[in-house]
Chain A
Amino acid sequence: MREIDTATLTDVIKEMCIEANHVLSDDMKSALLQAQKEEQSPIGRQILEQLEQNMNIASQEQIPICQDTGMAVVFLTVGQDVHFTGGSVQQAVHEGVRQGYKAGYLRKSVVGDPLERVNTGDNTPAVIHFEIVPGDQVTVTIAPKGFGSENMSRIFMLKPSDGISGVRQAVLTAVRDAGPNACPPVVVGVGIGGTFEKCALLSKKALTRDLRIRSNIESIRLLEEELLDQINRLGIGPAGLGGSTTALAVNIETYPTHIAGLPVAVNICCHVNRHVTRTI
């Protein structure tokens, strides 16, 4: 049994919210720089250069990369030998988000009731996903999610007979329909299998995977590569103004599913695909 004070969780989450919104992770940076070299459209290259300058200004001058600093999505993977002390874990997470968004001059983009739509003023609550695993460590991933791209995400409840070509069609349809709205070049997170909500969660989790790591399932790795190629043939390009870089990566996560179903979720993220992970 290892004791962890929830105040530690608050401090870590506060720092991570600020970091994620000012500095893109190395995998995203290198993918954007690589895209600059490969992009065929002159306007597209110019936009990618502007995004590089934007990244530099953001980290040097502590201005958020994007004004939509997102709704804070927090993945907490908790070792089952951990005992939290000092109060509610959920409240500690929300408090970390509250403090991070205030101290980091991040935008408060959360409304309390989805229909009444009054801003909560502190970007809480966060969206928290817990997972219990063996061990005595806690892994925290913060992925602030902007809604320009979140709004373009989709779930398709396919039939088993739709098979892999149905999955391909679903992903291409979602990216094509998103077009310029999702701030391309995008990262495409795909969840295949599970249930309605499980595949959505998988697709979100897929966005937090390092872009340089491909699926360790051979057939899925091939599907990731094939879909990336097909997406980049759509012509949408940087900022949707035409070009050969529409997506930087397609990350797919899978899970067993029911004999009657083939759920597919496509969670699209803009080129500001923020994800920071720390282990406590």
Chain B
Amino acid sequence: MSERTLQTPLTKENASSLRAGDYVYINGVIYTARDAAHKRMYEAIQSGAGLPFELKNNIIYYMGPSPAREGRVIGSAGPTTSSRMDKYTPLLLDLGLTGMIGKGKRSPEVLEAIRRNHGVYFAAVGGAGAILSKCIVSSRVIAYEDLGTEAVRELQVKNFPVIVVADDQGNNLYETAIAQYAVN
């Protein structure tokens, strides 16, 4: 378990060097997409249409912010539950996506896709949207604006704090950490 600073883009080599339990501070560009944007991206891939951003070596943050007040970059901006994206995720990983930030458990299919593609799944602290918004230095809607909070955004982040939950060796922090504190 260690503390690491990471600069995007996130290559497979870098993702592969991370281990469940590592504290990571992310710097650089990440992209937001949640339920409705995933559905559209998935359909775009099926029909051969273009995607809003390059998947290769990038990180998706499962997040739909609250509106920004005047003069501010963004509103509250914490993670949403990742499992709702599980249906779409293996394909995105197969196409080059290397990282995901969210909260909560992933399906066996996603964990397997992380292993075979040398990806990584990070958790940010759910319900800490006010403090996490402080690590976002710019935000720009780049696609699906009609989806409102669910639009795809390009975010510049600075020391955005996450913890590695699942790595490409099959380690899963939720399982090991919970087992450690369970009392029979």
B141 within 8 A of A: no
In the complex, the answer to whether A105 meets B129 with C-beta atoms within 8 Å is no
Using a Cβ–Cβ cut-off of 8 Å, how many residues does chain B contribute to the interface with A? 44
In the complex, the answer to whether B68 meets A105 with C-beta atoms within 8 Å is yes
Dominant SS at the A interface?
loop
Pick the contact of A271 from B67, B127, B148, B174 — CB < 8 Å?
B127
Pick the contact of A54 from B63, B67, B128 — CB < 8 Å?
B128
Task: Tell me the smallest distance from the CB of B86 to a CB of chain A, in Å.
Answer: 12
The segment from B6-14, B72-80, B91-99, B112-120 found at the interface with A is B72-80
B125 within 8 A of A: yes
In the complex, the answer to whether B36 meets A67 with C-beta atoms within 8 Å is no
B24 within 8 A of A: no
Bound CA span A172–B133, Å: 34
B66 within 8 A of A: yes
Closest chain B residue, CB of each to CB of A109:
B149
Contacts of A100 in B (CB 8 A): none
In the complex, the answer to whether B80 meets A64 with C-beta atoms within 8 Å is no
In the complex, the answer to whether B105 meets A179 with C-beta atoms within 8 Å is yes
Bound CA span A106–B130, Å: 12
In the complex, the answer to whether A64 meets B66 with C-beta atoms within 8 Å is yes
In the complex, the answer to whether A242 meets B130 with C-beta atoms within 8 Å is no
Pick the contact of A148 from B75, B103, B163, B177 — CB < 8 Å?
B103
- Which 4 A-B pairs have CB atoms at the shortest separation, nearest pair first? A242-B177, A235-B182, A235-B181, A181-B104
Q: Report B's interface with A, CB cutoff 8 A.
A: 36, 63-69, 75-78, 80-81, 83, 103-105, 123, 125-131, 133-134, 147-150, 163, 173-174, 176-184
